[in-house]
Amino acid sequence: MSHCGKIPDFVIKSSDTLPTFDATLLDGGVAFDLTGYTVTLHLRDRATNVQTSFVMAIVLATAGTVTYAWLAGDTDIAGEYDAEIEAVQGANRRTFPDEDFLLFVFSADIT
């Protein structure tokens, strides 16, 4: 699997549910206050362009910390995925990272 020279931001074996994906959302190096926001993790398969979204749990809103606990089936398709995190509060929308995408890799399982 080629990562186009980019180091993956998150790697998990396909069909695994651990580890969770945890992130701290920063705005200018400062924690983004997620009070009142809904946060979604968006993935796009680099090979097929198929998009998937997962609602993330806010761990501590004022610290900008979020997590996603993978469910059975979430990581079944091995591949590379562009990822971004979207925080929405009413008409306010903020996407992380500001530029480019995170790179997620679901590695093929031997069995």
- We report the CATH number of the domain holding residue 25 as 2.60.40.10
Give the tens place of pLDDT for each residue, 16-74: 999 999 999 999 999 999 999 999 999 999 999 999 999 999 999 999 999 999 999 99
pTM of the model: 0.93
103 in any annotated domain: yes
53 in any annotated domain: yes
Q: How many CB atoms lie within 10 A of CB 68?
A: 19
| Torsion angles phi and psi, residue 61, rounded to 5 | -55, -45
Q: Which domain holds residue 60?
A: 12-107
Considering only CA atoms, which of 26, 30, 25 is closest in space to residue 40? 25
29 in any annotated domain: yes
Bond prior to 8 in cis (omega within 30° of 0): no
Calculate Rg over the CA atoms of the chain.
Answer: 14
7 in any annotated domain: no
What is the distance between the alpha carbons of residues 37 and 20, in angstroms, rounded to a whole number?
20
